[in-house]
Amino acid sequence: MAEDREARRAVVGGLGDALRELVDAAVRTEVPMAELDDVATAVRALAERLNADRRDLHEIATVDDPETGERWFSPVYGPGNPVAPPVHASDSPDGRSVGRVTFGKAHEGPPGLVHGGVVATVLDHVLARAVRAAGRGGLTATLTVTYRRPVPLGVPVVAKAEMGATEGRRTVATARLVAEDDPATTLAEAEGLFVALRPERAADVFAATGRPVAAWTTRTGDQ
């Protein structure tokens, strides 16, 4: 079973890479209108092939692991999601996480700059990942982002997060985004409050998935 999932993940990741190339081409192309029409027809035909066997809107993908919170189609880091930058993230049990990414044209806001909402999304992800790595489940309750400087497209950036104070089901974490070649200059920073769901509440929230979801619930000892 695990081998089957890993094999499918590899293929899903390959499709995600190809689709990200397509998305980048689509938002940068200036080909003639007739060519755009032809490509649109071809893409719809490919979508029809993929729709031959599709999940329900709330169904968890076979490549996902809801126990650890690993989502293969996450819009932030999912290898199979063509809208994901994608962020390459790591974490440690002491409540720290690091995400690395280079934003392209698909995530542009003002000309040449990354959309502020995308920056906030990445910061939210590394914050949540730091909390989860320390064994603290939780959904984002509040997220405060301070934008210090514009974030340029095409520049490798690093987001680092660290878990802070905990109280019962509540956990605070902070994060900072910098350019990889200029770590002393803060581009954006964030503070997030994460609240773990009680098991009975989690069962209700995630009932539509038809599966137990542990990554966002309380852990032993949480109040």
Residue with tokens 């019962």: 168
Give the pLDDT score at 1: 61
CATH H-level superfamily of 1-223: Hotdog Thioesterase (3.10.129.10)
- For position 222, what pLDDT does the model report? 56
Q: How far is CA 18 from CA 11, 12, 13, in A?
A: 11, 10, 9
130, two tokens: 């730091």
pLDDT of the residue at 220:
46
Q: Which of 27, 16, 154 is nearest to 72 (CA)?
A: 16
List, for residues 61-82, the tens digit of each pLDDT value: 999 987 788 899 999 999 999 9
Residues with Cβ within 8 Å of 39's Cβ and at least 6 positions away in sequence, in order, are 31
Contact between 173 and 95 (Cβ < 8 Å): yes
For the chain, give the secondary structure using H, E and C. CHHHHHHHHHHHHHHHHHHHHHHHHHHHCCCCHHHHHHHHHHHHHHHHHHCCCCCCCCCCCCCCECCCCECCCCCCCCCCCCCCCCCEEEEECCCEEEEEECCCHHHECCCCEECHHHHHHHHHHHHHHHHHHCCCCCEEEEEEEEECCCCECCCCEEEEEEEEEEECCEEEEEEEEEECCEEEEEEEEEEEEEECECHHHHHHHCHHHCCCCCCCECCCCCC
Spell out the residues 6+ positions from residue 135 whose beta carbon is closer than 8 angstroms to its own. Answer: 93, 219
Q: Is the pTM of this model over 0.85?
A: yes
Residue 46 confidence (pLDDT): 98
Residues of the chain with pLDDT under 70: 1-2, 219-223
pLDDT tens sequence across 162-182: 999 999 999 999 999 999 999
